[in-house]
Each structure stands twice: as structure tokens, then as C-alpha cells.
Amino acid sequence: MIQGVQIDLISADRLERMTKMEKIRLIIDDVMEGNIVVLEKGLTPDEQSGLIELTMQKITPDGFSGIEMETYAAKDASSSGGGLFGKLFGKKVSATRMTVIGPANQMKTIKKDKDLISAWVSSR
């Protein structure tokens, strides 16, 4: 299904220490390598706006075709993954939405099953 795809988890703590541009860069660089980025805490509207703009700059014919995003309410993440981030980072799941960002051409698989990411991560 999503074999060979790397999923990178970014904790709320780490996100809080990063600047807007650092976050956007990290996401784009990661996604352009074909990876999926899971943010424990959602991006601010301003960061989302910047992410859309940089994404557009990076699109090339037959190369990168953009990103797909999904946000999950925190309660979904904890109920399906048994405290997904709690387990991984040893703390309470943030009240803000967990955000999953991936390359547009790979996110279709993930969108089909909303629990896929959580399940996959928590089974590791």
C-alpha cells in the first residue's frame, strides 16, 4: 500500500521552536523527496499561505506536481492510534489538529483510509 514511503513526524515542541520559513522549507523538502510529513500541530493561516506559494514555485512538468493535505481532529488521532503522539513523544496529544502533508500523487492512497497513517505509525 504505502510501502517504501517514509513518514516523518514533527512534534509540536519542535514546530514551536521553528520559524515560519523553516517549517515551510522542511515540509516542502521532505514532500519533494516523496515523503509524507505528519505535523502534530497544524500550521497557522499565514504559514499555510506561504506553503501554498512555495509549493507553486516548486511544481515542474513530470516532476513535482504539488501537495495534498489532510487535517485530523486530535480526538481522531488519539482514538485510532491509541494516543499516537502521546506514545511517540511521551506527552498529551495537542488540542490543535494533526496535519498530514504529502506529494499530490501519493496522497490518494492515504485519503482512502483516514486511519491508515495513524494505524501505520502506531504499529511500528
Partner 1 sequence: MNFFIRTRKRLSKFLNAFFKKRQSRIGIYGPPNAGKTTLSNRIVRDWTGDALGPVSEIPHETRRARRKEGITISNQNGNTVTIDIVDTPGVTTKIDYQEFIEYGMEKDDAIKRAREATEGVAEAMHWLREDIDGVIYMLDATLDPFTQVNIMLVGIIESRDLPVIIVANKIDLPDASASAIRKAFPQHPVIPVSGLEGNNMEELYEKMLEYFG
What residues line the site for partner 1 (CB under 8 A)?
A: 44-46, 48-49, 52-53, 55-57, 59, 61, 65-71, 104-105
How many other CB atoms sit within 10 Å of the CB of residue 27?
25
Q: How far is CA 101 from CA 30, 91, 119, in A?
A: 10, 22, 16
Report in angstroms how near the CB of residue 66 gets to partner 1 at its nearest.
Answer: 3
Residues contacting residue 32 through CB under 8 Å, at least 6 positions apart: 58, 64, 103
Report in angstroms how near the CB of residue 30 gets to partner 1 at its nearest.
Answer: 15
Q: How far apart are CA 122 and CA 104, in angstroms?
A: 24
Report in angstroms how near the CB of residue 110 gets to partner 1 at its nearest.
Answer: 12
Residue placing its CB nearer to partner 1 in the complex, 13 or 113: 113
Report the Cα 122 to chain-centroid distance in Å: 15
Report in angstroms how near the CB of residue 6 gets to partner 1 at its nearest.
Answer: 20
Residue placing its CB nearer to partner 1 in the complex, 61 or 90: 61
Q: How far is CA 19 from CA 38, 53, 97, in A?
A: 17, 16, 19
Residue placing its CB nearer to partner 1 in the complex, 44 or 79: 44
Residue placing its CB nearer to partner 1 in the complex, 18 or 104: 104
